[in-house]
Chains A and B, each alone.
Chain A
Amino acid sequence: MDKLFEVFDTDLDAIEIGAAILGTGGGGNPYIGKLRCRLQLQQGRRIKVIPIDELRDDALVVSLGGIGAPVVGVEKIEQGEECLRAVHALEDDLGCKVDALISSEIGGANSMEPMLTAAQAGIPVVDGDGMGRAFPEMQMCTWSIYGHRSTPSAMADEKGNIVIIKNTRNEVWVETLARANVVAMGAAAGIAMAPMKGSYVKKVAIRSTITQALSLGNSVLKAQRDNTDPIAAVLAHEDGRLLMTGKIIDLERHLKGGFAVGHIFIQGFGDFSGDKGQIDIQNEFLVFHRNNQVEICVPDLIVVLDVDTGLPITTEVLRYGQRIAVLALPCDDLLRTPEALKVVGPAAFGYPEVTFTPMPSSKNKEGKR
């Protein structure tokens, strides 16, 4: 186990930025999670990260995260051990001992929760996650897509309530029941899913995403320090493409089926002068149109950054007049298979007419696994 590495206090600012960029506008703000990690480290706990290939094939790995409304998360902060109690509840229910934890989504707030819980439990957190970005629902994790049953799942709130979802007809039902539960629990809870074998995680997890968030964030911080272009740094790091620089000239948001949906309209400037951009939002940025033509869509990542600082702008703080850079970053190949596109492709988000055309990427090489 000497291939493990540690996350230190000095890494947390970079992970916060990197995770927020990979959140593609959603996923919740990692700021509170960062403060919680920092406090854990100050209290002497350690965040140990295990590379995926170092997992034993028979290791038991639990995927976990916070679930709830981001706006509640900044007001009713966690008691602090919700996810830990959920993991213990799973262990009690199954009579097993969990060997490592893994993030369900690296994008946004759930980048921090598994690191925290791993530090509390004294076990490592896996360098990887189930999305490589943020998505609104749990069945959109790679392990669910490729056949893992998340039941039993355990949910814990700050009051000591624990609910076990013992069995469901399919993965969507886990999300549905968890959603109903989290509302009763006050719209914030921790959830831990049925353990996976190390061998399965090696096959289906999106790899090295803690490392990725850390070095992505560091590249932005370095560009800011050196007074070089942070947008260029993000593009270089992620093998991405600059879709547009422009100003938000209109913005509409409303609620549909419990999700924040809407559109932003962008007037290009600089090299994109004359272009009109549009981004469709469902919690995350989903589809980018240029001059009324779809150009990039989910599951590839659409990222909105402040044009000057390179810092990510989430959907809650979008406003009229912001000067933004819109970037496309390639998603992992695991999200581009026919099975995955059924769950996380444009049709799954209500765009049956849009065909996903993967953006070219040198990052996703054949035989990466």
Chain B
Amino acid sequence: MKEVKMYRIGIDVGGTNTDAVIMQGDKILAGVKSATTSDVMSGVVDSLKKVLAETGVKNSTVSAVMIGTTHFTNAVVERRSLSLTAAVRLCLPAAQCLPPMVDWPDDIKQAVGGHYWMADGGNEFDGREISSLNDIQLTKIADEIDALGIDTVALCSVFSPVNDSMEKEAMAIMKKRLPKANFTLSSEIGRLGILERENAAIMNASLRKLSSHTVGAFGKALKSVGLSCPYYVTQNDGTLMSAKFVQEYPVLTFASGPTNSMRGASFLTGEKNAIVIDVGGTSTDVGALVNGFPRPASTSVDVGGVRTNFRMPDVYSIALGGGTIINPEDPISIGPRSVGYRIHEDGLLFGGDILTATDVAVGLGIADIGDPEPAKKLGSERLQIIKSKIDEMIVNAAERMRVSSDRIPVLAVGGGSILIPDTVGDLPVVKPNYFAVANAVGAAIGQISGEVDRIFSLTSISREEALETARKEATKKAIAAGAKPDSIEILDQEDVPLAYLPGNATRIRLKVVGDLNG
């Protein structure tokens, strides 16, 4: 391993805790936890100060800070801090039967204003125009948007993942009337499937102002503790976005939480193919690692009730955590309610009067926290019955995510991971050091990516040539985003033949990743 004199800091801003780790090369020097604050920033400043003080690392030797945050997801889920947004779809005469935001819950539609326009434009699957862009029409729409006082626009054109020129031209036309507005182009964030891609573009647009503010505040937080290095934010697939990029594409952070925990678990154990079980206070997330990255979900994923087609990690959640409430009279009825962070008052082990999953582990001597005596009063036989049921829930969840009969390990992370037995079914369990700050570690080791998702016609080129073209395009994108050219490798490639289309059309999705420059 090459010697690295510079340090990286990974931060995870969660709902309850803001964690930070400091790393030198592949070595973790320290991991700390602070409470998340309502302004987010003081929690970040707090954890940065703590981790720097604990290690004595000099500010000037920190080369980068990587931040994982659920801030933008929460804004959508809670319908707060969203900007009024103009949705403009280039499609006519096609696609007018289902207007933008047609399947959104009313409250979020209201939060972003629900304003939409449909205009001429869009392409066919083979690149032909459905209709040409109409300068006068778009200028009129821009004026109407301006009159409503809206300065955030989401543009979505039919088949823009195949040809993005209409979205770009429409933006240029509208910018003449809306010089200060910010634009989100659907082709830059989503894949085929117009409703889902448009949804993502509208959500992204509505988060742009919050994003500018938040990213600016992250910068200030770093500055206030004397850090002048660049900082990055992690996205859904565990790769990094520059501060400038996340200002433009906040929507790409949506599932970064579970991704960071899985990537962190992989790093802490050295395992590339595994089941990751992250046990928190109220729930357990189970995911699968394939070649060191989370396996993506194959179906559409709802965010705050809005359908998207992001590549989200395939995560199966069950209502089982350290604070899960168990009825001592009915030992196999476990959860779904939890005492959550109130375990320190309500749990038997801390002098409370509610039997929790953690009490069962403590009562059986599996974990050594608090007072085991109240739980022991239930008798070891009953505790054992409950523990068997908990084990069964964990085994079933792990089985669900397992992709082959290979005996891959189970990686146990999160504060509640004492609940995980030594083996899960026939799978061995690994509990790494720093298991409680796996998310922050996942952020600290983020890589840079580039992705292509397009339909190729295989009449004049071979499948291999098409894949090669896709690989070159993706590599170019990764380098532009800050990846070291010689470290780039293919992370994922998939080609799906398209039924009923002539010329052996095939849809290729390909993603490359590389180490961060510098």
Report the separation of the CA atoms of residues A183 and B95 in the bound assembly, to the nearest whole angstrom: 18
With beta carbons under 8 angstroms apart, the residue of A35, A316, A321 that contacts B98 is A35
Kindly list chain A residues whose C-beta atoms are within 8 Å of the C-beta of B500: 68-70, 179, 182-183, 187, 258-259
Residue of A nearest to B316 (CB): A308
Contact across chains for A260 and B98 when beta carbons are under 8 A apart: no
Chain A 304-357 interface residues, beta-carbon cutoff 8 Å to B: 308, 316-317, 319-321, 323
- The yes or no answer to B193 lying at the interface (CB within 8 A) is yes
Also in contact, A78 and B97, with CB within 8 A (given A267-B405, A320-B403, A323-B400)? yes
Which of B194, B298, B499, B507 has the largest count of A CB atoms less than 10 A from its CB? Answer: B499
Also in contact, A75 and B193, with CB within 8 A (given A183-B501, A308-B400, A317-B298)? yes
Indicate with 1 or 0, residue by residue over B187-208, a CB within 8 angstroms of chain A CB atoms. 0000011110000000000000
With beta carbons under 8 angstroms apart, the residue of B130, B158, B399, B507 that contacts A159 is B130
Contact across chains for A258 and B502 when beta carbons are under 8 A apart: yes
Q: From residue A273, how far is it (CB to closest CB) to chain B in Å? A: 11
Q: How many interface residues does A have (CB within 8 Å)?
A: 44
Report the number of A-B residue pairs with Cβ-Cβ less than 8 Å: 127
Q: From residue A78, how far is it (CB to closest CB) to chain B in Å? A: 5
Contact across chains for B97 and A80 when beta carbons are under 8 A apart: yes
Contact across chains for A253 and B496 when beta carbons are under 8 A apart: yes
- The yes or no answer to B102 lying at the interface (CB within 8 A) is yes
- The yes or no answer to B506 lying at the interface (CB within 8 A) is yes
Q: How many interface residues does B have (CB within 8 Å)?
A: 42
Residue of B nearest to A74 (CB): B193
Contact across chains for A254 and B497 when beta carbons are under 8 A apart: yes
Report the separation of the CA atoms of residues A74 and B457 in the bound assembly, to the nearest whole angstrom: 19
Also in contact, A316 and B496, with CB within 8 A (given A75-B125, A75-B192, A255-B506)? yes
Chain A 234-258 interface residues, beta-carbon cutoff 8 Å to B: 247, 249, 253-255, 258
Also in contact, A75 and B158, with CB within 8 A (given A253-B496, A253-B497, A259-B499)? yes
Report the separation of the CA atoms of residues A247 and B97 in the bound assembly, to the nearest whole angstrom: 39
Also in contact, A317 and B299, with CB within 8 A (given A75-B125, A78-B95, A186-B128)? yes
Report the separation of the CA atoms of residues A319 and B297 in the bound assembly, to the nearest whole angstrom: 10
Q: From residue A111, how far is it (CB to closest CB) to chain B in Å? A: 17
Indicate with 1 or 0, residue by residue over B126-143, a CB within 8 angstroms of chain A CB atoms. 101011000000000000
Report the separation of the CA atoms of residues A258 and B501 in the bound assembly, to the nearest whole angstrom: 6
- The yes or no answer to B105 lying at the interface (CB within 8 A) is no
- The yes or no answer to A177 lying at the interface (CB within 8 A) is no
Contact across chains for B103 and A79 when beta carbons are under 8 A apart: no
Contact across chains for B125 and A186 when beta carbons are under 8 A apart: yes
Residue of B nearest to A68 (CB): B500
Residue of A nearest to B288 (CB): A321
- The yes or no answer to A71 lying at the interface (CB within 8 A) is yes
Q: 8 closest A-B pairs (Cβ-Cβ)? A: A80-B97, A321-B403, A255-B497, A69-B500, A77-B95, A186-B124, A158-B94, A260-B499
B-to-A contact residues, CB < 8 Å: 91, 93-98, 102-103, 122, 124-126, 128, 130-131, 158-159, 192-195, 288, 295, 298-299, 399-400, 402-405, 496-502, 504, 506-507
Would you mind naming 21 contact pairs between A and B with Cβ atoms under 8 Å apart?
A: A32-B98, A39-B102, A69-B500, A75-B158, A75-B194, A77-B94, A77-B98, A79-B95, A158-B93, A158-B95, A159-B131, A183-B500, A183-B501, A249-B404, A249-B405, A253-B496, A253-B497, A255-B506, A321-B295, A321-B403, A323-B399
Not counting A35-B98, A255-B504, a sample of 6 additional A-B residue pairs whose C-beta atoms are within 8 angstroms of each other reads A68-B500, A76-B125, A136-B499, A308-B400, A320-B403, A323-B399
